[in-house]
Structure 1
Amino acid sequence: MTADAPRQDRTSTEKTSYVRRFATTRTIMALLLREMTTRYGRSPGGYVWALLEPIGAIMIFAVGFSLLFNTPPLGSSFILFFATGFLPFNLYQNVSVMVARALVFSRPLLFYPAVTWVDAVIARFTLNALTGILVTFILFSGIILATETRTALNLLPIIQSVALALLLGFAVGVLNCALMGLIQVWDLLWSVATRPLFLASGVLFIFEDMPQMAQSVLWYNPLVHILGIMRQGFFPLYEAHFVSVPYVLFCSLIPMFFGVLLLSRYHRDILNK
């Protein structure tokens, strides 16, 4: 009898753990489907707009700079050069913004005991990460097939850049999710502070072309490293010696830690505001 008791306790614990994991997965999927319907199901074209927006931005920059310069900083295709900068930046930006508003978007549902702030954050990150990866893959494939780039792809840096952009976007989004709920004007302050980020991340240029003084400042922007890694995957002769993956990981894990810490401690206060 005494030997069977611990075995029954372990079985009961395992069943309880399985039920909780199943309930969490089901909740995340429900939140994910709700957001898909809300964001893409109510507008004409739906997911088509997720493709048209980056295509429009890349084309505008490519045409504009082709009128000013004979060749892009790397390679021979302005469209491919700007795509290697814009798409990872856009991936980071979309994920960070959407994750930051996870609690606001799912606020009515978070008052139910079955739905937690973790479910809301994971669901929003998953949908936007998968959408961003799909858009990036489709656009890069279309550019390579439609233009005579003659590029030799190196998949490892491309995958690494996408993964780091998602990680950084998630980390910044989680921290901002907490700070926007705790500090009323944080959304406005962050928007103003990061307005020059597009230019300061190397979307329109490469790091090596900047003056030495600018390089010493821009190096501390983790997006510069992410974009440098991406361009190494499309331009075989380009070697971004300034890139530091540990630095990008450091810039991602620190805000992620504090974001999760603040949300776990103050998510109830944020929801009740």
Structure 2
Amino acid sequence: MRGGLMQLRDGFYTQRHVIGALVIRELHTRYGRDNIGSLWMLLEPLLLASAVAFIHASNDTGKHGAGIRIVPFALTGYMVFIIFRAIVNRSESAVEANRPLLFHHMVTIFDLLFTRALLEIIATSGALALLYGLCIALGLADFPGRPLRLMAAIMLLGWLSFGLAMCIATGVHFSKAFSKFVHPVTYIIMPLSGTFFLLEWIPEPYRSWLGWSPINQIFEMVHSGVFESYDSPYFNPLYIVGWCMALTLLGLLLLRVLRRHIHLN
């Protein structure tokens, strides 16, 4: 028993260093070391979200039902969706771009995908915190009513996106045509995901149909986490976790198949 725990501890220690090294490599590869370098990790989503917040700020007339202010509503919805879109879209190139690293036995396809997902969550969450804090200072937003729920929703969306990323990475390897659908589908999902609406605004039976989607339920968590006046009855954390676990299990099984078909020349 003691030997098994020691082996498990050593395994976690090794993987922690592998992930750390991959994070540094990904930062240098993606952003380089010149000019502001890795700060682009924060500035990239920050600039995109700033444009969205500015557009909505010009039309902000105060509250939009249920005590919801339009600027923080649009800002948090868009920034959280960026996490989903970035993790999913970057998964299609993760294996090919890092194929030489698979020569090292300690590096796995799971590590490559996990590293990219982790970077997207950290970068976009950091940008969201900075921009939301600025909105609070300017009087455009109030402090989140349920910050723990908001953070839990972001983590769940990251988990769900990572599970999808493993499935997509496998699909792209076996079918180049599959990759052509990844980006368009993410854009189609955006207006249906709850990024810019609440489920209570949607009439039946469409509300029930959208409510089956774990992404819509996660965005209900996001919006109810931001606005204390909106306590959504349209999400179930256990249902969301069930989807995350199912996609993770499927993704892990697909990665085992994928690893057997990757030839290192």
Into which bin does the TM-score normalised by the smaller protein fall? 0.7 to 0.9
Structure 1: any 5+ residue segments left out of the alignment?
1-6
Letter in 1 for 2:64: P
For residue 80 of structure 1, report the CA deviation from its aligned partner. 0.8
**Aligned mates of 2:118, 2:56 — CA distance in 1:** 35
Aligned CA distance change for structure 1 residues 59 and 212 (closer, same or farther; 3 Å): farther
Aligned CA distance change for structure 1 residues 249 and 238 (closer, same or farther; 3 Å): same
Moved more, 34-43 or 78-87: 34-43
**Aligned mates of 2:140, 2:152 — CA distance in 1:** 25
The root-mean-square deviation of aligned C-alpha atoms, in Å, is 3.0
Aligned CA distance change for structure 1 residues 108 and 207 (closer, same or farther; 3 Å): same
Aligned CA distance change for structure 1 residues 60 and 14 (closer, same or farther; 3 Å): closer
Residue in 1 aligned with 2:136?
144
**Aligned mates of 2:112, 2:186 — CA distance in 1:** 25
**Aligned mates of 2:54, 2:128 — CA distance in 1:** 20
Residue in 2 aligned with 1:263?
255
SS in 1 for 2:183: helix
Deviations 1:161-201 (A, max 9, x none): 11111111111111111111122211112333333111011
Residue in 1 aligned with 2:192?
200
Letter in 2 for 1:109: L
Task: Among all aligned residue pairs of Structure 1 and Structure 2, give the percentage whose two residues are the same amino acid.
Answer: 23
**Aligned mates of 1:59, 1:26 — CA distance in 2:** 35
For residue 146 of structure 1, report the CA deviation from its aligned partner. 2.4
Residue in 2 aligned with 1:117?
109
For residue 21 of structure 1, report the CA deviation from its aligned partner. 4.8
SS in 2 for 1:236: coil
SS in 2 for 1:89: helix
The two structures have a TM-score, normalised by structure 2, of 0.84
1:89 maps to which of 81, 86, 91: 81
Deviations 1:238-262 (A, max 9, x none): 1211112222222222221111101
Residue in 2 aligned with 1:3?
none
Residue in 1 aligned with 2:31?
40
**Aligned mates of 1:149, 1:18 — CA distance in 2:** 44
Matching of residue 156 in structure 1 with residue 134 in structure 2: no
Deviations 1:4-31 (A, max 9, x none): xxx9xx87x8877666554433332222
Q: How many residues align?
A: 264
The two structures have a TM-score, normalised by structure 1, of 0.82
